[in-house]
Structure 1
Amino acid sequence: MRTGTALVGQGPGLSGVIGNPNAKVGRDYRFAFPLLRNNSKEPVSITEFRIASLPSGVKVIGYPVYSVNHTSGYQLAYDDSSHEGGPELDKTPNYAGHPYTIKPGVLSDKYAMVHLHVTGKLSAHVKGCEVYYTQDGQSYRQSLNCEFALDMK
């Protein structure tokens, strides 16, 4: 697999930490991957998302993919137990498992989230957003900056 360079991440999560300062064991939280812009001259087909560094105390439930058109915009963080004024993501169309194309020069309306379940006190932050895609018949993996904190008091 080749290292990709076609995508450019956008959004607040690229330059800081997104998180929940009151995380609790047994609860689920979701955090958004950066928005994706295809900065190349050829279309890309997004196939998969993964976290690069997962500390003890948390497990990945999945990588749902949503459209900004169905989630009232770009949802940076989501607490499954409270929904705190946002859309109920379990009732929102989830495009995970269905590759989607981003045309050249276009910012995608779809974005991935990592759905996490807290099993204990986290030993570190969740870090590194990896995006898998195909372009011109080749498979690529591209790493983007992201960091998610689930802090407990």
Structure 2
Amino acid sequence: MKKSLLLWCLWCGMAGFAQGQAVARFDFNLYTDSLKKGFYNYINVDAQLSDGSWRPLDSTQLRFMASTGFFKGNDLFIDSSYRGDSVRVRVELRSDPKQWKETSIPIRRRPFGDLPTEREVIDREAPRQRGAGSVNRQL
């Protein structure tokens, strides 16, 4: 009984502390300069708390919306058939929807190059493996 009461008091104290740190301001902190179609793109939002510290926010604290695609948590998936040149992303605090931010993020225009074949990788690596004094053997 004493142990469960102690745990309950500890939990209540921690919950009160967590709620005491209100979000003073928040903003996008993107890891990339463009979004990639056909991939999940992580949308990072950082908040400055009332004590001055900075913390990342996730979908439990934010509501994510975008002009195209769909969110899974903080990850925005954009279909590879999307033809626009940018995506509007909006986040709002779940605790206070009047606080929101919106940004436009460009779509990557340059296509991804083809990956080299296994043979091309091996042929490219072969000269590096031969150093001064090494024996060149024919197989």
Q: Which has the higher helix share?
A: 2
- Relative to the length of structure 2, the TM-score reads 0.43
- Which structure is higher in RCO with an 8 Å CA cutoff and minimum separation 6? 1
- Relative to the length of structure 1, the TM-score reads 0.40
Q: Which has the higher strand share?
A: 1
Higher Cα Rg, which structure: 2
